[in-house]
Structure 1
Amino acid sequence: MSRLWSRLGARTAAVALLSVGVAGGFYLGGDRDQGQSAQVGVAVEQAALQQARQVHSAKERTTEYQEKLRAAAAAEAVAERKRRAEAAAASRKKAREAAAKAAAETKAAESKPYDGPIPSSCEEFSGNRKIGCALMIDAGFGIDQFPCLNKLWDKESGWNHKARNPSSGAYGIPQALPGSKMGSVADDWQTNPATQIKWGLGYIKGRYDTPCGAWAHSQDVGWY
């Protein structure tokens, strides 16, 4: 009887021990699962944090790049406005200079009025012919020389003080070649009929003695 109870006690103890072991195993296994889950959770959180940092960093870089683009665009806009302002200022300056030059040329091209005395013997003429008649007499020639002078310069230039020969470049009433020769009388030789006439009379006197002598030579050879 005692042996039977001993065997039953041993078996009971073994079963109890086994139960405890199984329970402990379940407990330990559950603890390991919880630990692994916790580690996975930490890893996920770290990965999410890292990703968030990367996204934030990318956003910052994008923002910085966009700011640089805006700054560059603003600087280019300022430079473009400056270039346009400078170009406009240069254009206005050029226009003013051109206008001033044109005004000066117009003024220089204006005929200079003759305010010298006109002899009564020259009153029948007009314009540059009247001036030519007066200056011819003033140069010491008789009125009888004017018909020759009138024909000579009528042939040469039509008494036009702006006449220019396109072939030779001869200029003015006496068709001086070059026209700048008349600058020996005055600087306004391009626009002042009196200056041209004075030079022409001096040229005639030096080469042909009289206007009629110059006209005769012109009739013979076609020039004087």
Structure 2
Amino acid sequence: MSRISVRGFAVASATAVTTVGAVVGVAAGNEPGSVTNTEATAADATIADIPAGQQAQVQTASLTQQADDQSTQADAAALKSAQESARKAAAQTAQEKKDAADEAKAKADADARKKKELAANRSAARDASDFVAKASYTIAETQALAHQMIPGEQFQCFSNIVSHESGWNYQATNASSGAYGLVQALPGSKMSSAGSDWQTNPATQIKWGLNYMNSRYGSPCGAWQFWQANSWY
């Protein structure tokens, strides 16, 4: 009969180890109960040394222990994997929140800078009342007034509209519609809200035109975008 070694089987419990040790002790001629190292003896024993009636019990206990050990290792590996996945997910979520916060802050800072610049430009622009009225104005003088009254980044848009509407002639009159002045207000008397000298003072017309563009289109550049699409504003 072949001898199958017990070594390699992990004994499931102290009871099973003691049983194996006791059996081996009897087979070796020792008195029952005199075994001093049952685990070592059991590990060195072979299936042939164990009575046939207890071989199945020993093998079952050993295989059960191995299955339990493997299950414990699998559970530990699964737990470690789950913990690592959770850590990575938490880190990714935290990074996404940080990126969103940074983007929102950058946008808020940019908006604040833009508003500050617009406010500075508008506060630096001079009002029509800052200029002494003259009997007449050349195109160059009218444009110089506009440069001083229109915020720097908006001047070109304002100039584009005035160039198309009146060619910078503050006395320009549309024979068919009655529109008047630099910005061709219709009717021209609308500009009286900016000053009673609206017919003769380009600074008054510029003031009214700037207010109109800001209130209706947000800015002269907003008005120019509309003009380009419609050829009027």
User: Which range, TM-score by smaller chain?
Assistant: 0.3 to 0.5
Q: TM-score, normalised by structure 2?
A: 0.41
Which structure: greater helix fraction? 1
Q: TM-score if structure 1 supplies the norm length?
A: 0.42
